[in-house]
Structures are given as structure tokens and as C-alpha cells.
Amino acid sequence: MDQIPFKLLVKEKFPHLSAGQKKVANYLIENLDEAVFKTAFQIGRKAEVSETTVIRLSYALGFESFSKMQDRIQEQLLHPAEIERFDNNYREQPDENDPFTKVIESEVHILRNLLNHTSIQDIWETVDVLLQADQILIAGHRISHAAAYWFSYTLSSLRENVYLSSPAGDFLEKFCNLTDKSVVVVFSFPRYAQETLKIAETAKKHGISLISVTDRLLSPVGSISDITLTTEENAETGTNSMASVISLLDLIIAGIYEKDKQRIKTRQQKLENLYSSYEVFSE
């Protein structure tokens, strides 16, 4: 057991823990550097369980006592090389031709490009437009639908009147309710779907503000949008990076939260109360 990193040990044992022990385990994993010097009582308060539950977790993980578990965590925090040696027993060091290394390096390159001055300006402009809109209609077809769905779901937790156009084809019914203060957000990545381009062209024709999230400035939707957010303009990749798209959207969400914190907190509290009442999520 001593050779297994603490996080992997918790992952292995997690399905067999009690509800209270799982709360402690989650707290420990997320706050190892802080919790490692706390008492069982202090950890219990943070995890909202009893001191006894914390101690029982150490037994459930195979330690003789809470202090033995804490010693193990301290040892790994102070000697991270041990974890690296453990990992090396299961995988070889990737060389420069390793396909996974290439993917990670490409992702890092793309994410760094998101922080250039022009991109940041466009992101803040997008934040302002989305905050001021009376309605937001989001669309994306085929490979782009996943990102559109993620953004609509996340954005709807921050503000009202956010709608997702279904791939089944309900755009016109939702579009007819928009006003000159509304915004259409389209997602379009190769191979570009004709349905998405038609939606973008319809928005422009009727004078609705159009924001596109796409791979390059001069993509079919990018070239006609009021704001074009790109993820891979200078990237030499054979596939589209979903990670970079979600990271870009995360920046937008963070900007919206930063500018409208109080109203968002009130809305999210109402949502949490509804989630609890209808038992939407398993804790």
C-alpha cells in the first residue's frame, strides 16, 4: 500500500466508502497541502462530518490510524519524486514522436494563443454583449453541437433567457421571438455544417448581433460575424481541439461572473434550492 500515491489509493477505495467518508475523501483530495497539517477534528469541520468519520476513513483506506494516514500524505507532498517513480512503473517516458505528447503540446500552444491582446479584447467585448442581451440563442450542428450545448447549459445557470437551437430544427420558431437587443451565438468547426451557416446568415439578415466561435477568422461564419472568437488560427493540427474551445468558453463565463457577481449568486442560489427540492443530483 505504501507504494501507491494517496490520491490513487482514495480512488481505488472510494466506491466502498460511506457517504460521510466520501465527503472527507473529497475534501482531502482537493486540499491536500492544507489538510495535511490539520487535526482530525479540524478536517471534520471542514468536510462537515464528525471527527470519528475522519478517523474511520483512515481505517477504510487501510491505515492503522489517522496519524499514519497523515504521515503518508506528508511524505508524498514532501517527496513528489516517489509518485513519479510509481507512475514510471506503469508507463514509459514519452518521446518526441509520441502521439499523446504531440496532442498535449498542441493544446498548450493553442491555449497560450488565447491570451494574446486581441483575443482578450474580443472576449471582454463578448462578455459585455452577452450581459446586455435580452435573449441569447445558441446554435451548433454536428461536431459543434457538443460545445454549443455545454455553453448554453453553463450560461443558463448565470442568467435568464438563454436558448439552445436543437439539431432537430427548431431555430426559426425560437428566432422569431428575438429582438434587436438579442444575440445569436453560433459554433462552427470543420467540417462546417450548412445548417449553422444558414442560421448565421439569417441573424445577419435580420440585424441580430452575431457572435461566432470557430477555428479561424475567415471561416464561413467567422467572416460574417460581428465578433469572431477563434481557437486555432495559427495551429497546425489535423483535428479540432475541444479542450481549447471549452477553455475559451470558460474565459467568457469567468468574465460574465466577474462583472455580474451578485445577481449571478442570487440566481444560482435559487437553482440550488430547486435542485435540492427535486433531488436532481446525487451528492
Considering the entire predicted model, what is its pTM? 0.65
* Chain segment 199-244, per-residue pLDDT in tens: 999 999 999 999 999 988 888 999 899 999 988 644 444 456 677 8
Output helix, strand, coil percentages for the chain, rounded to the nearest 5: 60, 10, 35
Nearest Cα residue to 198 out of 217, 172, 179: 172
Which domains does the chain possess? 6-88 (1.10.10.10), 101-277 (3.40.50.10490)
β-pair type (227-230, 209-214): parallel
Sheet holding 183-188, edge to edge: 162-164, 136-140, 183-188, 209-214, 227-230
Confidence of residue 96 (pLDDT cuts 50, 70, 90): low
Taken in order 223, 228, 233, 239, is the CA torsion positive or negative? negative
Which residue would you say has higher pLDDT here, 119 or 113? 119
In DSSP terms, which residues pair with 214 in a beta bridge? 188, 230
Nearest Cα residue to 51 out of 62, 60, 42, 61: 42
Instruction: Give the distance from CA 145 to its chain's centroid.
Output: 16
